[in-house]
Amino acid sequence: MWGLHLKKRGDWWHYYRAIPVKFRDIEEKNLISFTLNTRNFSEAKLKAAQISTDLESEWQKAKERGVSLSSQNIARQYQAPAEI
């Protein structure tokens, strides 16, 4: 399916995706969105496909471990300052 999870805002392509219901217990947000930093539709499609694959894998691994991704993100945010 072409253009899955893509929206164009101005000249730029953005990735938009609702979190699948089966992963909402491990992800705090219901929707994720961010710029793909490209104006080229073909490039945006490739980036979005890779991001979707990576997200699905990360969500599945977190689900199997029973770990909240939001808590992992918070831990990463505080880890760098703690290492200084």
CA pair distance 13, 11, nearest whole angstrom? 7
Domain count within the chain: 1
Report whether pLDDT(1) > 90: no
Q: Is 74 among the domain residues? A: yes
Residue 77: inside a domain = yes
36 — pLDDT class (breaks 50, 70, 90): very high
Overall residue count recorded for the chain in this entry: 84
**Domain-located, residue 1:** no
Distance, C-alpha 58 to centroid of its chain: 9
Confidence check: pLDDT of 80 > 50: no
pLDDT computed for residue 44 by the predictor: 94
Cβ atoms of 51 and 15 within 8 Å: the answer is: yes
- Residue 23: Cβ within 10 Å count: 16
Q: What is the pTM of this model?
A: 0.73
User: For the chain, what is the mean pLDDT?
Assistant: 82
Question: What percentage of the chain carries pLDDT values higher than 90?
Answer: 55
| Structural domain span for residue 65 | 6-83
| pLDDT at residue 26, as a whole number | 85
